[in-house]
Amino acid sequence: MRIQEGRIGRQETVAMLCMAIYVDTVFTLNSARAYGGGNSTYIWLPVSILIAMCAVLLPMRAMEKAGLHTLDELLAGAFGRLLGRAAGLCIIGLMLLNVYLVAMVFVNLIHNFVFFESSHWAITIWVTGVMFLLCTWGLECISRTALILGPLVGVVLIASLAGNAGAYSLHRLYPLPGNTLAEMAEMALAGAVKPFGAIAGLLTVTRGVQGMRFGRRACIAAAVAAAALALCTQLAAGLTYGYADLRNIPFPMHRLGMMLVREGYFFRMDTLLVFFWLMAAMVAGAYHLYAAAAMWCRCFGLRDVRPGAAAFAAMLCCAVVLQAEGYYSWVEALYGWLDSRGWAALLLPLLAAAIQLVKCRRQGGAQA
């Protein structure tokens, strides 16, 4: 069996998970939709992360009670083998969707802001190639890379937010709170699907993270840290640009320093900073790719994670290039689907957890 899981500690797990959640929620935000009717992303985005965390903690609890180790076992136990595999495919799709959005955003970003004359193919192969390479080296490699890069990216993130404080202005956050409570609740629920994809990856590698108990603690720590960082980032973006401006800015992090009139420490660092965010995105992408390939292996009894990862990476490359070659409307449709029905993906593991808990209770009652 070459699942390449290895064993990682809590710090590695938290760093990897936090990075993945943050990248999935903040960097892949659909600006046109998120800021369409005002800006309350600094409220609902952290809330969506906490919703996703809760949506994973329940299946964890059910798995712990039933003595199951991985998500595929939970799905198979709850829905039966065939339906369990189908449900597993949905979860794999969700993970691949996450890595696709991350790769797409960064390939477009690098193409538009850094290497304008390079083709999308070249940039895509460069980005996904690194993700694939990290993925084939296994979970230990991904998580330890995350632990090395995580604090660095975190410090740079906080420094860049603080360094641009001169451009912040409170009036840009108004009208407060930007959206109605119902709109915020809807967006938080719809937005939870992306961090859920990141956290659900943990359920496929519970052995690697030293068991369910350690996994749960790491999951809570990572989700809370990512929610706090998302709050800071979105608040900074909201203080720098009004919502009407933000809906036209696909990646506000790159333009935080543009409002500064006086040159500061981060004045000409925006392109350099893109590479820090890219490092985080590559680690997050590798983690998603690995989780999807591991889930594939477990669902279909394969013994090596690499063929699945290679196939997914190749599909990913083609899909990223396609959107740049005139099929961006597909991405818009995808975003539209995620925003309207994406929350349904959360129901699968929740339903499986509920069924499993009922089964456990019945078994407990029968034994008594």
Partner 1 sequence: MRRRLGAIIMLLLCCLALAGCLGSVQADDYMYVVGIGFDRGREYKYNISFLVQKEVGGEGQSSTGGIEVYSAEGDSIFDAITTLHAGGPFRLNFSRTNTIMFSRELAEEGEMEQLMDIAFNALKLRQSAKLLVTLCPVRDFMDGLRLEQSPNVTKLMASVMENYGVDGITAVTNYALMTESVRDKRLDGIVMLGGLDETAADSGGEQPQGGGGQDSADMVQGGGEEAGSGGSQQQGQQKENQQDKQDKQEYTTAGVYRSGGMGAYVSGVALFDGWRMAGALDGHDTKFLLLGKGDFNTGNITIPYDGDRVVAYLRAGGKPRVTMDLSGEPRALVEMEMVCGILQYMGEYGQDEWERGLKAAAEEYIEGELGRVFEACRRMGSDAMGFGRYAVMEFDGSAAWEAYDWQGSYPGLEVEFRVELDLADENIAMRLE
Q: Enumerate binding residues for partner 1 (CB under 8 A).
A: 37-38, 112-113, 116, 169, 171-172, 174-180, 241-245, 248, 255, 257-262, 267-268, 270
Query: What DSSP designation does 304 have?
Result: B
- Which amino acid, residue 56? V
Query: Two tokens at 227?
Result: 């929610």
- Which amino acid, residue 295? M
Query: What DSSP designation does 334 have?
Result: H
By beta-carbon proximity to partner 1, the closer residue of 50 and 258 is 258
State the number of CA atoms in the 13 A half-sphere of 234 facing the CB: 29
Residues 6+ apart with CB under 8 A from 363: none
CB-based contact 203:63 (threshold 8 Å): yes
* Nearest by Cα to 356 from 69, 66, 82: 66
CB-based contact 303:297 (threshold 8 Å): yes
Residue 167 beta carbon to partner 1: minimum distance, rounded to whole angstroms: 9
Residue 200 beta carbon to partner 1: minimum distance, rounded to whole angstroms: 30
Neighbour count for residue 84 (Cβ, 10 Å): 20
By beta-carbon proximity to partner 1, the closer residue of 182 and 366 is 182
By beta-carbon proximity to partner 1, the closer residue of 267 and 335 is 267
By beta-carbon proximity to partner 1, the closer residue of 223 and 274 is 274
By beta-carbon proximity to partner 1, the closer residue of 164 and 356 is 164
* Nearest by Cα to 287 from 89, 71, 137, 107: 137
Residue 305 beta carbon to partner 1: minimum distance, rounded to whole angstroms: 16
When computed from its CA atoms, the radius of gyration of the chain, rounded to whole angstroms, is 20
- Which amino acid, residue 347? L
By beta-carbon proximity to partner 1, the closer residue of 111 and 216 is 111
Residue 182 beta carbon to partner 1: minimum distance, rounded to whole angstroms: 12
How many Å apart are CA 360 and CA 51, to the nearest integer? 25
By beta-carbon proximity to partner 1, the closer residue of 180 and 363 is 180
Residue 104 beta carbon to partner 1: minimum distance, rounded to whole angstroms: 17
By beta-carbon proximity to partner 1, the closer residue of 4 and 206 is 4
- Nearest 5°: the CA angle 278, 281, 284 is 155
CB-based contact 212:68 (threshold 8 Å): no
Residue 259 beta carbon to partner 1: minimum distance, rounded to whole angstroms: 5
Residue 138 beta carbon to partner 1: minimum distance, rounded to whole angstroms: 12
| Peptide bond just before 195 cis, omega within 30 deg | no
CB-based contact 292:65 (threshold 8 Å): no
> 9 by DSSP, 3-state: which?
coil
Distances (CA, A) of 150 to 9, 74, 139, 144, 299: 15, 31, 15, 9, 31
By beta-carbon proximity to partner 1, the closer residue of 245 and 332 is 245
Residue 132 beta carbon to partner 1: minimum distance, rounded to whole angstroms: 13
Residue 346 beta carbon to partner 1: minimum distance, rounded to whole angstroms: 28
